[in-house]
Amino acid sequence: MKFGGTSVADLERIRRVARLVSAERDAGHQVAVVVSAMAGKTNELVAWTDGSGAAAQGLTPSDDEYDVVVASGEQVTAGLLAMTLRNMGVPARSWLGWQIPIIADDAHGRARIDDIPPEKLGASMDAGEVAVIAGFQGVTRDGRIATLGRGGSDTSAVAIAAALGCGCDIYTDVDGVYTTDPRIESRARKLAKVSYEEMLEMASLGAKVLQTRSVELAMAYHVPVRVLSSFVEPGEAPGQGTIVCDEEEIVEKRIVSGVAYSRDEAKISLFGLPDHPGVSSTIFGALADANVNVDMIVQSKARTADTANMEFTVGKRDAARAVEIVRSVQPDVGFEDVQVNDDVAKVSVIGVGMRSHTGVAKSMFQALADKGVNIQVISTSEIKISVLIDAAYTELAVRALHAAYGLDQL
């Protein structure tokens, strides 16, 4: 069972979580619980480390010590939940990442889990204890705390489920996965089932329900995942939520299952690139070496002979660093200019049914054209089409596409 920040935002909500955990144990299950930091706590801790917090003015960021600070939020929640369970008469103990251990690489702030030996957790659970685990954190092989990136508690939960050989229920502030963000489109519908592939695309394209890496792990290790609401009491009908499963388990495959969006995008434009082999390798090799993730890429011929223009997107957080890296290879590459625009948004349609149906792109482009939305960049895969647009048109585009594919009629 995994509970996100809004589910453990205060002591009363932690008590509700404890009641849900206790009910699962009373039903005869061995239970491991992964918790996030209280809502807003991680942002507060990050502000202390990046100089934006009043008490942190003048601090120089340091990746490994950054992880020490921001991982403390989950430690507090794990201790409070274990304490609450004990007060209810439920045997429980808290576990930090280094105690299990959750072994991770040393990419501080965005570490990936390498291994989770299940012996200690398994022995504790076999003895009747509820294992309450601090999410979002692991330990490097040289003993340093490493955090897993935003939403990393989802990854912790799925990885632990894989290590224990069990399913994973993700409790959050919504009761499942919807066709799009209900805050933008009131006619959004909850999906009973969604494939790992679709959920992976939704997560990577801006849907906030699950972290991308957690879906990758679930798909790789065939971990059954269910998304449920934590805002119920034991005995109330929580609904079935949404089951994330193999594509073969979905009988009727929809052409389009959902519309996702992300405002956390920046577009970087390079002008006057020499049009010869090795240029792209130099640019994107330097970005990869700096752990800057690049998403959409498009290249076109420039007006000047033997030159090209290129546009690509990165996360807003990485935009300034990406421009610095690109400028550092300018003497080797020889492009004319670089510009950045962070007033953009990515809007995507996703569905496994795209593999066997034509006309999906036509419907998307027509729906956006009818609303006067200009497309800047396009990228596709077997089961998704993404477009980059002006951020001001995000909500209009989401609603138009949701209606165009009849998602309000599921």
Annotated domain spans of the chain: 2-247, 259-409
* 276-311 per-position pLDDT tens digit: 888 999 999 999 999 899 989 998 888 788 889 999
pLDDT value of position 303? 79
Fill in the DSSP letter of residue 60.
Answer: P
CA distances from 1 to 32, 165, 178, 242, 311 (A): 6, 13, 21, 15, 42
259-409 has the same fold as 2-247: no
pLDDT value of position 52? 59
- Reported residue count of the chain is 410
CA distance 164 to 224: 13
pTM: 0.80
pLDDT value of position 232? 78
The residue ranges of DSSP E strands in 50-110, in sequence order, are 92-95, 103-104
Kindly report the CATH number that applies to the domain delimited by 2-247.
3.40.1160.10
CA distance 223 to 209: 17
Q: Is the distance from CB of 49 to CB of 84 less than 8 angstroms?
A: no
* 49-81 per-position pLDDT tens digit: 876 554 555 566 678 898 999 999 999 999 999
* Backbone angles phi and psi of 228, in degrees to 5: -135, 165
Stretch (H or E) spanning 34 = strand 32-35
pLDDT value of position 211? 83
Pure H helices in 205-359: 212-221, 279-289, 316-328, 330-333
Where b means 16+ CB within 10 Å and e means fewer, 336-359 reads eebeebbebbbbbbbbbbbeeeee
Pure H helices in 192-255: 196-204, 212-221
- Name the class of domain 259-409: alpha beta
- Which residues of the chain are under the pLDDT cut of 70? 51-61, 206-207, 235-239, 251-253, 410
Pure H helices in 269-389: 279-289, 316-328, 330-333, 360-370
**SS3 assignment, position 168:** strand
The tokens of 91 are what? 């045997």
Is the peptide bond between 101 and the residue preceding it cis, with omega within 30 degrees of 0?
Answer: yes
CA distance 345 to 368: 14
CA distance 350 to 364: 11
pLDDT value of position 235? 64
Q: Is the distance from CB of 118 to CB of 82 less than 8 angstroms?
A: no
pLDDT value of position 55? 53
Amino acid identity, residue 248? E
* Backbone angles phi and psi of 53, in degrees to 5: -80, 145
pLDDT value of position 135? 96
pLDDT value of position 102? 96
* 370-392 per-position pLDDT tens digit: 999 999 999 888 899 999 999 99
State the residue for tokens 């165009």: 404
pLDDT value of position 410? 63
**Across-strand partners of 193?**
243
pLDDT value of position 300? 86
